[in-house]
């Protein structure tokens, strides 16, 4: 199994300092799974190529901790020697450790110098998800080229091989390139040959720092890296969302009590909006909840607890449960609501829990109504079906009040560049038609009726800035 790193330009031959490996010899390293060899097939002034060859010892692995549990012969017949897998990450961490850590002993400035890199992974095990190679690497700024072959040209009906030759190009620091490979190769491989626990979670968060939180497919990456362990994935996502929020100036404003209301979205920049849209939204939602006679209310994706605070002021709501996927938001919510000063009776009335709306959760059962305010647009569109199932089929409150931005209204805000979404974490924003066709489909599927309303100052052509769906089941 081969990882080839190539660079060009006047400093190309400095690669040996960066990798900390002598250019004139083949160096070999003993690893738990076999051997790793590093050598330079090309080493010129203007072009240098470094190869890392993994010589995985399948028989040695059978004797060691490695087990293929799926079928008995799997111990002897498996793809481990031929694919880029977590062994590749182990090799990167051990054999290229200085480069991965961004250090260069002899010429420290090299580690801080971007080089034009081309990395070639000869056999990336994509487990049938080859389209994800582009989706995962492109947002990180790589030019991606992939090549797959038929599994066996004699039997075209067997389809394409799940192994993809992948070439990635980008001008960046070597540490950045190696860090991406370290995390993403095992995410693709998704092989369950070792125990995935807290340590893997810590590794993912440590190595993912600074890029994973803002990756549009962070959920896929976390899920694959953590082998689908739901509780670890949930924790990873919550921490990543926290990291992203921290790095977002809009969100830090939101956390600041001195700036009442809400993030510095165009909504808050626009002086024409008489009452902050955020506050208006919550007032409209509380009015709906009062009107439908709900006594117990879910606030799903409750964020920093602003709606919960409003709900608390209405005696009709005897039971309130706020849930969010972000620990940090829940902590802020507790602080804002002075949760630590509450007596037992207040704690019986209000609960704040950590959880994700895309996983089945019994704690959400038995409520009259649910508010899902400005949450759906934070989810990948492919997760909306899971959310709908959790909300409308499993939790199944009598009323669901759901709001989301009306994309058509964005052009009213001159400060928002054309085509841009209102918040950097928004995965999508919908026109009124798009929202209503989704809402109608979900209502029909789960036996609800739905009515749509606008919130905020209405534009005669583009509608209101926020759109609200009020779902009601008989
Ligand atoms: N409803 C709040 C917050 C909106 S911001 C308000 O109106 O002020 C969106 C919130 O959704 C964030 O707090 C985010 O952490 C949360 N969120 C995103 N994905 C989620 C998920 N899968 N499950 C639960 N909450 C989620």
The domain that contains 142 carries what CATH number?
A: 3.30.1610.20
Question: Looking at the structure, do residues 53 and 140 belong to the same domain, yes or no?
Answer: yes
Question: Looking at the structure, do residues 19 and 133 belong to the same domain, yes or no?
Answer: yes
Neighbours of 47 (CB within 10 A): 14
Question: Looking at the structure, do residues 34 and 170 belong to the same domain, yes or no?
Answer: yes
Q: Please give the pLDDT value at position 252.
A: 31
Q: Is residue 391 part of a domain?
A: yes
Per-residue tokens: 146: 């992939």
Per-residue tokens: 125: 């095990």
Minimal-distance CA residue to ligand 1 atom 18: 378
Q: Is 384 in the pocket of ligand 1 (CB under 6 A)?
A: no
Q: Is 416 in the pocket of ligand 1 (CB under 6 A)?
A: no
CA–CA dist 254, 127 (Å, integer): 41
CA–CA dist 421, 409 (Å, integer): 11
Question: Looking at the structure, do residues 160 and 291 belong to the same domain, yes or no?
Answer: no
Question: Looking at the structure, do residues 159 and 83 belong to the same domain, yes or no?
Answer: yes
Q: Is residue 427 part of a domain?
A: yes
Per-residue tokens: 254: 């939101």
Atom of ligand 1 nearest to the CA of 374: 4
Per-residue tokens: 55: 């010589």
Q: Is 208 in the pocket of ligand 1 (CB under 6 A)?
A: no
Which CATH number belongs to the domain containing residue 282 in this structure?
3.40.50.150
Q: Is residue 174 part of a domain?
A: yes
Model pTM score: 0.54
- For residue 71, count CB atoms less than 10 angstroms from its CB and return exposed for 0-12, middle for 13-18, buried for 19 or more: exposed
Question: Looking at the structure, do residues 171 and 280 belong to the same domain, yes or no?
Answer: no
| Best residue among 255, 276, 279, 303 to mutate for probing ligand 1, ranked by most atoms within 8 Å of CB | 303
Question: Looking at the structure, do residues 170 and 268 belong to the same domain, yes or no?
Answer: no
**Number of Cα atoms under 13 Å in the Cβ half of residue 6:** 14
Q: Is residue 229 part of a domain?
A: no
Per-residue tokens: 158: 């067997």
Atom of ligand 1 nearest to the CA of 306: 8
CA of 407 to the centre of ligand 1 (A): 19
Q: Is 234 in the pocket of ligand 1 (CB under 6 A)?
A: no
Q: Is 241 in the pocket of ligand 1 (CB under 6 A)?
A: yes
Q: Is 390 in the pocket of ligand 1 (CB under 6 A)?
A: no
Question: Looking at the structure, do residues 278 and 173 belong to the same domain, yes or no?
Answer: no
CA of 327 to the centre of ligand 1 (A): 11
Q: Which of 150, 169, 194 is the last residue of a domain?
A: 194
**Number of Cα atoms under 13 Å in the Cβ half of residue 431:** 7
Q: Please give the pLDDT value at position 277.
A: 82
Q: Is residue 217 part of a domain?
A: no
Question: Looking at the structure, do residues 433 and 334 belong to the same domain, yes or no?
Answer: yes
Question: Looking at the structure, do residues 153 and 268 belong to the same domain, yes or no?
Answer: no
Q: Which of 173, 194, 215 is the last residue of a domain?
A: 194
Q: Is residue 214 part of a domain?
A: no
Q: Is residue 223 part of a domain?
A: no
Q: Please give the pLDDT value at position 260.
A: 31
CA of 371 to the centre of ligand 1 (A): 11
| Best residue among 255, 282, 301 to mutate for probing ligand 1, ranked by most atoms within 8 Å of CB | 301
Q: Is 329 in the pocket of ligand 1 (CB under 6 A)?
A: yes
Determine the structural domain holding residue 106 and report its residue range: 2-194
Number of domains the chain contains? 2
CA of 318 to the centre of ligand 1 (A): 23
Question: Looking at the structure, do residues 175 and 291 belong to the same domain, yes or no?
Answer: no
Minimal-distance CA residue to ligand 1 atom 17: 301
> Per-residue confidence of the chain (474 residues) as pLDDT tens digits?
899 999 999 999 999 999 999 999 999 999 888 899 999 999 988 999 999 999 987 766 665 554 544 556 666 667 777 777 788 998 999 999 999 999 998 889 999 999 999 999 988 887 666 788 999 999 999 999 998 888 888 998 888 888 889 999 999 999 999 999 999 998 988 775 567 788 888 889 999 988 998 888 898 899 989 988 888 888 888 888 776 665 433 233 232 222 333 333 343 333 333 347 888 899 899 999 999 999 999 999 999 999 999 999 899 999 999 999 988 889 889 988 888 888 898 999 999 999 999 999 999 999 999 999 999 999 999 999 999 999 999 999 999 999 999 999 988 876 677 777 877 788 999 999 999 999 999 999 999 999 999 998 888 899 999 999 999 998
Per-residue tokens: 168: 């990635």
Distances (CA, A) of 339 to 251, 271, 307, 316, 330: 22, 34, 15, 20, 11
Q: Is residue 241 part of a domain?
A: no
Question: Looking at the structure, do residues 447 and 345 belong to the same domain, yes or no?
Answer: yes
The sign of the dihedral angle between the CA atoms of 446, 449, 454, 460 is positive
Residues 6 or more apart whose CB falls under 8 angstroms from that of 407 comprise: 429, 430, 431, 434
């Amino acid at each position: 199994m081969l990882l080839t790193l190539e660079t060009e330009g006047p400093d190309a031959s400095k690669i040996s300092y960066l990798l900390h490996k002598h250019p004139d010899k083949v160096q070999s390293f003993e690893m738990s799974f076999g051997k790793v060899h590093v050598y330079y097939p090309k080493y010129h002034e203007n072009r240098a190529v470094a190869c890392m060859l993994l010589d995985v010892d399948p028989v040695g692995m059978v004797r060691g901790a490695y087990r293929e549990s799926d079928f008995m012969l799997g111990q002897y017949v498996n793809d481990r020697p031929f694919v880029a897998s977590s062994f590749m990450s182990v090799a990167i961490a051990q054999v290229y450790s200085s480069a991965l850590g961004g250090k260069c002993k002899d010429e420290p400035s090299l580690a801080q110098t971007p080089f034009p890199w081309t990395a070639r992974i000869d056999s990336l095990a994509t487990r049938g998800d080859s389209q994800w190679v582009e989706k995962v690497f492109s947002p990180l700024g790589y030019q991606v080229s992939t090549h797959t072959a038929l599994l066996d040209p004699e039997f075209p009906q067997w389809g394409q091989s799940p192994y993809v030759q992948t070439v990635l190009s980008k001008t960046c620091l070597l540490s950045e390139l190696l860090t991406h490979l370290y995390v993403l190769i095992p995410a693709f491989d998704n092989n369950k040959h070792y125990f995935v626990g807290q340590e893997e979670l810590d590794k993912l968060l440590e190595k993912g720092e600074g890029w994973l939180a803002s990756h549009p497919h962070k959920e896929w990456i976390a899920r694959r890296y953590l082998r689908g362990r739901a509780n670890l994935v949930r924790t990873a996502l919550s921490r990543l969302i926290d990291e992203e929020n921290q790095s977002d100036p809009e969100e830090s404003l939101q956390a600041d009590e001195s700036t009442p209301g809400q993030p510095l979205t165009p909504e808050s920049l626009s002086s024409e909006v008489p009452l902050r849209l955020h506050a208006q939204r919550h007032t409209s939602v509380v009015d709906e909840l009062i009107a439908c006679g709900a006594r117990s209310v879910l606030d799903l994706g409750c964020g920093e607890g602003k709606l919960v605070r409003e709900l608390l002021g209405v005696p009709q709501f005897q039971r309130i449960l706020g849930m969010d996927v972000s620990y940090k938001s829940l902590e802020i919510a507790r602080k804002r609501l002075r949760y630590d000063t509450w007596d037992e009776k207040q704690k019986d009335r209000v609960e704040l829990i950590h959880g994700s709306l895309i996983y089945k959760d019994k704690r959400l059962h038995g409520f009259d109504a649910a508010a899902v305010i400005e949450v759906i647009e934070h989810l990948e569109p492919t997760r909306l079906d899971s959310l709908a199932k959790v909300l409308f089929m499993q939790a199944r409150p009598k009323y669901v009040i759901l709001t989301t931005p009306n994309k058509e209204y964005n052009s009213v805000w001159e400060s928002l560049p054309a085509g841009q979404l209102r918040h950097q974490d928004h995965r999508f924003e919908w026109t009124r038609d798009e929202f209503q066709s989704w809402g109608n489909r979900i209502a029909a599927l789960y036996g609800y009726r739905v009515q749509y309303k606008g919130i905020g100052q209405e534009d005669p052509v583009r509608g209101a800035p926020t759109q609200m769906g009020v779902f009601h089941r008989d």
